[in-house]
């Protein structure tokens, strides 16, 4: 099925084949994302960036993607500067915005807000993060990073490390890894374990799922170490936070036991989970991951909004 004109709210909205075709298209977008080649399939198209919550990487990489494709952006970067401050509903705000733009990229603090936006808008809506809910383009660029490093998404052993309870990126990523048949190793502090209902869903997809709270053990046979930020606000007291956060610091000593081809990923921003010394090792993939946000988002924008393919 073609993605043209469709909403992308959750990674579950995409089939395995659609994800693969987006990753292929994303790879071809790399020289355009770097600026060494020029393409303008979104010429005369306007994409609204409706960001009701702070974001650096996601908004800027989406804006870069639109502009690299020859389109232009309308940006709400501060919800306080909109009529929502006067009590306007999100529904009305999006309804209005959809008459000013050809597509809407939304980030909002409430879960389910992107689904609501998709109902309010008669233009395609792309979810750039709804509270603790979904963030499908993050998953796409995570997958692109792994596929670039290994040439496949099948049969990898991927360690998900950190806050596996509240971290939205790991829930979507785990789903996608299960879809592609990679093994998932869950490594988290006791209070931040991967939720049971998510485990049930992954097992229904036939996922191979194991728990290994000891990061040293977990890293040993891994192909990918996906580190997430431990959010300070989840802890009642500072000392408890420090204890947990300290146990998840990835440094050269932890990586000494790893396979040479292991890559370390992180959705960024990091808050001390990865020591700067790791940046200088061949394991560090997080800045490449941040760059791949642009070509992957270009591929998605082009699929949704670019010229419709014949027969597609």
Partner 1 sequence: MRELKITPIKNGTVIDHIGNGMALEVLRILDVRSLDKDSTVSVAIHVRSGKLGWKDIVKVENMELSPRNVNAIALIAPTATISIIRDFKVREKRTVDLPPQIVGILRCPNPNCISNQPEPLESEFDVLERRPVVLSCAFCERRVDDFLEHLA
Rounded least distance, CB 151 to partner 1, Å = 32
The residue (of 37 and 85) whose beta carbon lies closer to partner 1 is 85
The binding track of 38-77 with respect to partner 1, each residue x by CB under 8 A or -, is: ----------------------------------------
Q: Which residues pair with 250 in a beta bridge?
A: 274
Residue placing its CB nearer to partner 1 in the complex, 10 or 58: 10
Query: Is position 234 an interface residue for partner 1 (rule: CB under 8 A)?
Result: no
Tokens of 79: 């919800």
Shorter beta-carbon distance to partner 1: residue 156 or 174: 174
Q: Which of 308, 305, 234, 222 is nearest to 263 (CA)?
A: 222
Asked if 110 interacts with partner 1 (CB under 8 A), we say yes
**89 near partner 1, judged by CB under 8 A:** yes
Tell me which residue has tokens 């974001």.
55
Contact call for residues 57 and 290 (beta carbons, < 8 A): yes
Active site residues: 57-58, 86, 107, 135
Judge whether 107 and 76 are in contact, CB under 8 Å.
Answer: no
Helix (H) or strand (E) holding 178: helix 168-180
Pick out residues in 3-22 that bind partner 1 (CB under 8 A). Answer: 10
In terms of Cα–Cα distance, which of 182, 71, 135 is closest to 293?
Answer: 135
Residue 100 near residue 74, CB atoms below 8 Å: yes
| Residue of 26, 71, 129, 133 that binds partner 1 (CB under 8 A) | 133
Smaller CB distance to partner 1: residue 70 or 131? 131
Among 79, 90, 126, 299, binds partner 1 (CB under 8 A): 90
Residue 134 contacts partner 1 per CB under 8 A: yes
- Candidate segments 115-123, 183-191, 241-249, 290-298, binder of partner 1 by CB under 8 A: 115-123
Nearest distance, CB of residue 112 and partner 1, angstroms: 3
Task: Name the 3-class secondary structure at 60.
Answer: helix
**Binding status of residue 91 toward partner 1 by CB under 8 A:** yes
Kindly report whether the peptide bond that precedes residue 73 is cis, defined as omega within 30 degrees of 0: no
Under rule CB under 8 A, residue 165 binds partner 1? no
Rg over CA atoms, the chain = 19
Residues between 267 and 286 that touch partner 1 (CB under 8 A): none
In the list 96, 132, 275, 290, the residue contacting partner 1 (rule: CB under 8 A) is 132
Contact 245, 272 (CB under 8 A): yes
Query: Interaction with partner 1 in 198-217: which residues (CB under 8 A)?
Result: none
Nearer to partner 1, 97 or 285 (CB): 97
CB-based burial of residue 80 (10 Å sphere; 0-12 exposed, 13-18 middle, 19+ buried)? Answer: exposed
Q: What gap in Å lies between CA 195 and CA 206, rounded to an integer?
A: 17
Q: How far apart are CA 149 and CA 127, in angstroms?
A: 26
Residues that bind partner 1 (CB under 8 A): 10, 89-92, 108-113, 115-116, 119, 130-134, 197
């Amino acid at each position: 099925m073609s993605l043209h004109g469709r909403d992308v709210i959750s990674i579950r909205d995409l089939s395995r084949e659609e994800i693969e075709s987006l990753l292929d298209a994303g790879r071809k977008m790399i020289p355009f994302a770097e600026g060494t080649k020029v393409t303008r399939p979104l010429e005369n198209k306007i994409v609204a960036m409706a960001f009701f919550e702070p974001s650096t990487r996601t908004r800027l990489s989406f804006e870069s993607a639109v502009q690299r494709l020859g389109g232009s952006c309308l940006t709400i970067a501060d919800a306080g500067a909109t009529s929502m401050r006067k009590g306007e509903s999100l529904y009305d705000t999006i309804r209005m915005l959809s008459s000013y733009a050809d597509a809407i990229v939304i980030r909002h603090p409430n879960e389910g807000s992107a689904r609501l936006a998709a109902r309010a808008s008669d233009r395609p809506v792309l979810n750039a993060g709804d509270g603790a809910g979904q963030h499908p383009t993050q998953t796409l660029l995570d997958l692109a990073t792994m596929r670039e490093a290994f040439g496949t998404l099948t049969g990898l052993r991927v360690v998900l490390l950190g806050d596996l309870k509240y971290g939205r990126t790991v829930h979507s990523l785990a789903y996608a890894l299960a879809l592609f048949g990679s093994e998932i190793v869950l490594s988290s502090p006791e209070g931040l374990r991967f939720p049971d209902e998510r485990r049930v869903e992954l097992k229904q997809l036939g996922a191979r799922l194991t728990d290994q709270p000891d990061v040293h053990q977990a890293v040993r046979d891994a192909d990918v170490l996906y580190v997430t930020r431990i959010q300070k606000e989840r802890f009642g007291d500072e000392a408890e936070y420090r204890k947990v956060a300290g146990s998840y610091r990835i440094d050269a000593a932890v990586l000494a036991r790893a396979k040479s081809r292991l890559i370390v990923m992180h959705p960024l921003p990091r808050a001390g989970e990865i020591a700067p010394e790791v940046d200088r090792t061949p394991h560090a993939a997080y800045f490449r991951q941040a760059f791949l946000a642009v070509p992957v988002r270009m591929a998605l924008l082009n699929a949704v909004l670019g010229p419709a393919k014949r027969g597609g």
